[in-house]
Amino acid sequence: MKQRNKRVLLGITGGIAAYKCAELVRRLKDHHVDVKVVMTDSAKHFITPLTMQAVSGELVSDSLLDPQAEAAMGHIEFAKWADLVLVAPATSNIIAKMAVGIADDLLTTLLLATPAQVAIAPAMNQQMYAHVATQDNLATLAKRNIAIWGPGQGEQACGDVGAGRMLEPHELVQLVLQALSPEAKVLQGKVVTITAGPTREALDPVRFISNHSSGKMGYGLAEAALALGAEVNLISGPVSISAPCGVNLIAVESAADMHVAALTHAPKSDIFIGCAAVADYRAATVAEQKIKKQGDELTLTLVKNPDIIADVAALAVSRPYTVGFAAETQDITTYAKGKLTNKKLDMICANDVSKPDAGFNSEHNALTLFWHDQQQDLPLTSKKELALTVMKAIAEKIK
Ligand code: PMT
């Protein structure tokens, strides 16, 4: 018997990113996903129901109290029809309503009535996203197992720069397909610990040694692990991006702090991923007062930091599957394979950081995954998409 197509109910709310929903629906339909669209009143200011009707091939619903709609497909039928309800863009308003369970229109009502998995793609001004009220509401939704996809970082329609952009349609399509696939939750019941971002090694009370890691790759891995059903510890050096809702964030500064946190969580984890750009050296002594200018040269004595991932891989008891990253600018394969062997890792992700459009502080990246007996090239794509592929590759190995 032919299986029916997967069904996504797309709830569009009133944000400028609503214009991207036409593309989102088209791409979902390319993957044989049936889509029905429900729009809030404010969504209709940003994209017309007629556009959404044309791309979905279905009448668009927008009213809870429409006798005709109720006779054909009312809120309860909608709620039951869907395999996944995706709210995109999800404004701060709908997030707040969902958090307290308000049901005052078709979308909010069916969100309470649906037994299906629910996902939201937040999109709003960065200040609104960072507001404690929004963050508290998102944490409430995450606790209820509502998947929170994004937001992305970057320039916003209002001119601000920061977290709050809706994920791009192709990124949402990947997450939808992932959520709808039978093996979606391949990391259910697993604990994943990830290090991300840079470390800061103090020289004196106001100066430190650090690097350009933004945390985007590691945070993408954390989001991907969550999407695959894992419980996630994210040990992060100082970054300016927000952690995905639902992760256990452990904020650290130095390599020494990260070492302690990693060795606390790694033995309780199934998978450990060292994506952080850890400073190999720190100052032998940290000056108590600000170092004064003293002539033309200043000599600093540096001492080696502990190798965090090597210590995790060396755990005699409760050793997790251990995955490193190798940021290289030359002889990528040789150096990456060297680190795989010397640090006794199970897998390493070789990252050519000499390219301007990949690696440190970029939205995109490309990797080559190395195991002791195998390798896989992952071409340039968004760090979020890449992270999902990496996490699936790891999940496959620990099955
Ligand atoms: O944060 P983004 O801007 O998104 O950039 C992502 C990234 C480029 C930082 C990331 O993809 C990456 O390549 N991370 C590893 C960076 C690095 O420092 O690599 P490495 O070759 O120096 O270290 C090899 C491995 O050992 C890494 O897993 C590292 O976390 C680990 N390490 C290194 C030193 C140390 N003292 N302890 C460690 O655990």
The verdict on residue 142 lying in a domain is yes
**Which of 180, 206, 230 is a domain's end point?**
180
The verdict on residue 176 lying in a domain is yes
Question: pTM of the entire structure?
Answer: 0.81
**Which of 118, 152, 180 is a domain's end point?**
180
The verdict on residue 66 lying in a domain is yes
Amino acid at 250: I
- CATH code of 372's domain: 3.40.50.10300
**Pairing relation of β-strands 364-370 and 347-352?**
antiparallel
Residue of the CA atom closest to atom 21 of ligand 1: 326
Q: Is 85 exposed, middle or buried (0-12, 13-18, 19+ CB in 10 A)?
A: buried
Could you tell me if 95 and 207 lie in one domain? no
Query: What's the distance, CA 264 to chain centroid?
Result: 23
Cβ atoms within 10 Å, residue 205: 12
The verdict on residue 107 lying in a domain is yes
Q: Is 312 in the pocket of ligand 1 (CB under 6 A)?
A: no
Could you tell me if 373 and 311 lie in one domain? yes
Q: Ligand 1 centre from 324 Cα, in Å?
A: 7
The verdict on residue 25 lying in a domain is yes
**pLDDT computed for residue 178 by the predictor:** 87
Q: Is 21 an active-site residue?
A: no
The verdict on residue 63 lying in a domain is yes
The verdict on residue 185 lying in a domain is no
Instruction: Locate the ligand 1 atom nearest the alpha carbon of residue 276 and give its number.
Output: 30
Instruction: Locate the ligand 1 atom nearest the alpha carbon of residue 351 and give its number.
Output: 13
**pLDDT computed for residue 264 by the predictor:** 98
Could you tell me if 136 and 273 lie in one domain? no
**Which of 160, 180, 200 is a domain's end point?**
180
Domain count, the chain: 2
Could you tell me if 215 and 348 lie in one domain? yes
Could you tell me if 197 and 323 lie in one domain? yes
CA gap 191, 180 in Å, rounded: 22
Query: Going residue by residue through the chain (399 aa), what tens digit of pLDDT does each one get?
Result: 566 899 999 999 999 999 999 999 999 999 999 999 999 999 999 999 999 999 999 988 877 776 666 555 667 888 899 999 999 999 999 999 999 999 999 999 999 999 999 999 999 999 999 999 999 999 999 999 899 999 988 887 778 888 899 999 999 999 999 899 866 789 999 999 999 999 999 999 999 999 999 999 999 999 999 989 899 999 999 999 988 888 999 999 999 999 999 999 999 999 999 999 999 999 999 999 999 998 999 999 999 999 999 999 999 999 999 999 999 999 999 999 999 999 999 999 999 999 888 999 999 999 999 999 999 999 999 999 999 999 999 999 998
Q: Is 109 in the pocket of ligand 1 (CB under 6 A)?
A: no
The verdict on residue 1 lying in a domain is no
Could you tell me if 262 and 378 lie in one domain? yes
Range of the domain at 250: 191-397
Could you tell me if 253 and 357 lie in one domain? yes
Could you tell me if 196 and 174 lie in one domain? no
Could you tell me if 197 and 143 lie in one domain? no
**pLDDT computed for residue 162 by the predictor:** 84
Q: Is 309 in the pocket of ligand 1 (CB under 6 A)?
A: yes
**pLDDT computed for residue 362 by the predictor:** 93
Residue of the CA atom closest to atom 24 of ligand 1: 326
- CATH code of 115's domain: 3.40.50.1950
Could you tell me if 357 and 308 lie in one domain? yes
Q: Is 358 in the pocket of ligand 1 (CB under 6 A)?
A: no
Looking at 21, 158, 275, 349, which residue is catalytic? 158
Could you tell me if 300 and 246 lie in one domain? yes
Could you tell me if 16 and 101 lie in one domain? yes
